[in-house]
Structure 1
Amino acid sequence: MQPGTSTNATVLDSATRERTRVLLLFSLSGRLRPRDTALGALVDRYDYGRFAPHLMTSQDVLPLPVLDERVAPRRLRLPHGDHGLGLASLRILVVTTPRGDAALVVDCAFAGETTAGDLAVWLASTCFDRERIELDDRPILQTLAAQLGGRPLALGQNVHQLVFPGGRLQRELLSADEARKAILLNEIVYRGRMPWNPATPYDASLAPHVRNHGLTLSALGRGVSVQTGWAPHVENGLALVAVGMISALSVLQRTRLAAFAMMKANEQALTDSPTEIRSLISRLSAGVNELQLDLAFGVEAYVDSLLIPEMVTEAFQSSLGDALGIRDSLENSARMVERLTSVISTRSAALDAELAERDDRRDRTVSGLVAAATLIALPPTLLLAFFGVNGTNVDDQRSILDLRAYGTAYALAWLPFVVLVVIGWVLLRRVSTRSGSLLPAPDDAFAPVPPPRSPSGNRRP
Structure 2
Amino acid sequence: MHRHKLDVATFRSRRWNSVSRDAPTAAMLWQFIAPSGQILLALTLDLAVSLLDCIPLLEDLYYADVSFGGAGLEGLAATRIGAASSPLLPERHQLVFHASPTPEDVPPPDIVQRIIYRADLPVRAGLDALCAPDELNRRPTTSGSLGPYVSLLTGHQDYVENAAFLSAVQAVASAARLREIRLLAERYVRRFRTRPENVRPHERRAVLEHITGAQSHLELELGYSVEIPADLATLIPSLRPASYHSALYEAMGLTERAAAVSQTLQRLGNATAAELTAVESVEQRAADRRRVRTVAAVTFVTTVTATLGLLFAFFGINAAEVDERRSMFDPAYAPVYALISTVLVLGFLLYAVVQAFDRTVLRRATAPMPSWHGTRGLLATELGTALLDEGIFQVPPQRPPVTDRGQVSPEPGRTPAPPTP
Name the stretch that deviates more: 279-288 or 362-371: 362-371
**Structure-2 residue corresponding to 1:276:** 203
SS in 2 for 1:230: coil
The Cα shift of 1:136 comes to: 3.8
- Is this contact kept in 1: 2:131–2:146, CA < 8 A? yes
Name the CA distance, whole Å, in 1 between partners of 2:84 and 2:265. 31
**Alignment-derived partner of residue 175 in structure 1:** 104
What secondary structure is seen at the aligned counterpart in 1 of 2:43? strand
Which residue in the other structure is 1:299 paired with? 226
* Contact 1:218-1:228 within 8 A present in 2 as well: yes
Residue in 2 aligned with 1:96? 33
Separation (CA, whole Å) in 2 of partners of 1:95 and 1:214: 34
Distance change >3 Å, CA 151–CA 217, structure 1 → 2: same
Which of the residues 212, 215, 218 maps onto 2:141?
215
How far residue 142 of structure 1 moved from its aligned partner, in angstroms, is 2.6
1:74 lines up with 2:9 in the alignment: yes
Residues 78 and 273 (structure 1), Cα distance of their counterparts in 2 relative to 1, 3 Å cut: farther
CA shift at 1:370, angstroms? 4.2
When residues 350 and 310 of structure 1 are mapped into structure 2, their CA distance, relative to the original with a 3 A threshold, is: same
**TM-score, normalising length from structure 2?**
0.65
Q: Is the 2:143–2:153 contact (alpha carbons within 8 Å) kept by the matching residues of 1?
A: yes
Deviations 1:146-197 (A, max 9, x none): 332325543222221100124xxx468x4068xx71222122111116x225
Task: Write the letter of the residue equivalent to 2:24.
Answer: L
1:81 Cα deviation (Å)?
A: 4.6
Deviation at 1:69, TM superposition (A): 1.6
Q: Which runs of 5+ in 1 are unaligned?
A: 1-65, 382-461
RMSD: 3.2
Distance (Å, rounded) in 2 between the aligned partners of 1:85 and 1:228: 22
1:52-451 maps to which residues of 2 (within 5 A)? Answer: 66-82=1-17, 83-110=20-47, 113-127=48-62, 129-130=63-64, 132-151=65-84, 153-166=86-99, 170=100, 174-175=103-104, 181-192=108-119, 195-196=121-122, 202-206=125-129, 209=132, 211=137, 213-271=139-197, 272-304=199-231, 305-372=233-300
For the 8 Å contact 1:163–1:225, the answer to whether it is kept is: yes
- Quick one: structure 1 residues 294 and 207, their matched pair in 2 at CA, closer, same or farther if it must change by over 3 Å? closer
Partner of 2:337: none
CA, structure 1 residues 331+75, in 2 after alignment: closer, same or farther (shift >3 Å)?
same
Matched residues in 1 for 2:31 and 2:251: separation?
A: 24
CA distance in 1, matches of 2:119, 2:250: 22
Q: Which runs of 5+ in 2 are unaligned?
A: 310-421
Matched-pair contact (CA < 8 Å) for 2:227–2:255? no
Classify 1:351/1:125 alpha carbon distance in 2 versus 1 (closer, same or farther; 3 Å).
Answer: same
Letter in 2 for 1:244: Q
Deviation of residue 278 (structure 1)?
2.9
Shift of 1:227: 0.7
- Structure 2 letter corresponding to 1:190: Y
- State the SS of the aligned residue for 1:162: strand
State the match for 1:409 in structure 2: none
Cα distance change on mapping 1:297 and 1:126 into 2, 3 Å: same
Q: 1:258 to 1:358 in 2, by over 3 A?
A: same
In structure 2, relative to structure 1, the CA distance for the partners of 1:310 and 1:273 (3 Å cut) is same
What is the aligned partner in structure 1 of residue 389 from structure 2? none
Compare 208-217 and 304-313 and name the one that shifted more: 208-217
1:12-58 CA-to-partner distances (Å, cap 9, x unmatched) read xxxxxxxxxxxxxxxxxxxxxxxxxxxxxxxxxxxxxxxxxxxxxxx
SS at match of 1:159: coil
- 1:106 is paired with a residue whose SS is strand
Q: Note if contact 1:252-1:295 (Cα within 8 Å) is conserved in structure 2.
A: yes
CA contact (8 A) 1:218 1:225 kept: yes
**Separation (CA, whole Å) in 2 of partners of 1:120 and 1:341:** 46
Change (3 A) 1:344 1:208: closer
State the 1:377 CA deviation: 8.2
Q: SS in structure 1 opposite 2:49?
A: coil
Native 8 Å contact 1:218 1:227 kept in 2: yes
Using the alignment, how far apart are the partners of 1:283 and 1:74 within structure 2? Answer: 54
> How many pairs are equivalent?
307
Work out the CA distance in 2 between the residues paired with 1:147 and 1:283.
39
Contact 2:91-2:172 within 8 A present in 1 as well: yes
- In 2 relative to 1, CA 171–189 (structure 1 residues): closer, same or farther, beyond 3 Å? farther
Matched-pair contact (CA < 8 Å) for 1:186–1:208: no
Q: Deviations over 1:280-305 (max 9, x none)?
A: 22321221122122221101222122
**Helix, strand or coil at the partner of 2:25:** strand
Question: Equivalents in 2 of 1:215, 1:307: separation in Å?
Answer: 27
1:102-155 Cα shifts (integer Å, max 9, x gaps): 321111112xx312332011101211x22x433442332133223323255432
Counterpart Cα distance in 2 of 1:207 and 1:223: 10
The Cα offsets for residues 304-361 of structure 1, whole Å up to 9 and x where unpaired, read as: 2222221111221232222112222222222222221212222222222211211111
Cα distance in structure 1, aligned partners of 2:44 and 2:209: 44
Q: 2:177–2:226: 8 Å Cα contact kept in structure 1?
A: yes
Label 1:309 to 1:88 Cα distance change in 2 as closer, same or farther (>3 A).
Answer: same
Structure 1-normalised TM-score? 0.60
Letter in 2 for 1:74: A
Q: RCO higher in 1 or 2 (8 Å CA, sep ≥ 6)?
A: 1
Give the 3-state SS of the residue equivalent to 2:89 in structure 1: strand
